[in-house]
Amino acid sequence: MALQITDSNFNELLASGKPLVVDFWATWCGPCKMIAPFVDELAQEFSETVNIGKCNVDENSDLPMQFGVRNIPTLLFFKDGKLTDKHVGAATKAALKEKVEKLLG
């Protein structure tokens, strides 16, 4: 299961030393619902090496604003505390897994 990422716990997760993937989503977003199972599966698969979580844009406004998230789903990829990659829109599990593996490479 993916972590719940909020305005208040983001910095702690970013500083954890593990790469971080944040999926910005909303309950009413069709493409978000489409990739949600992939995000959960990848969170489980990479739980030892990468923090993967979801940030509900309706409940957290600071993070989306901080990173200029205008469309959802948007996935942001962080390594060593820095934003290294971004994906906007739906994607296959394979495409998302490739990006997560790139974080570890």
Q: Is 53 left (phi over 0), alpha (psi -120 to 50) or beta?
A: beta
> What's 83's domain CATH number?
3.40.30.10
| Residue 55 annotated as catalytic | no
pLDDT in tens, the chain (105 residues): 899 999 999 999 999 999 999 999 999 999 999 999 999 999 999 999 999 999 999 999 999 999 999 999 999 999 999 999 999 999 999 999 999 999 998
Active-site residue, from 3, 32, 39, 91: 32
Active-site residue, from 14, 20, 21, 29: 29
Check residue 89 and give its pLDDT. 97
Domain count, the chain: 1
Check residue 105 and give its pLDDT. 87
Check residue 39 and give its pLDDT. 98
Q: Which two tokens stand for residue 35?
A: 């990739």
Task: Give the residue numbers spanning the domain of 53.
Answer: 3-104
- Burial of 88 per CB tally in 10 Å (0-12, 13-18, 19+): middle
In degrees to the nearest 10, what's the CA dihedral of 57, 63, 66, 71?
-30
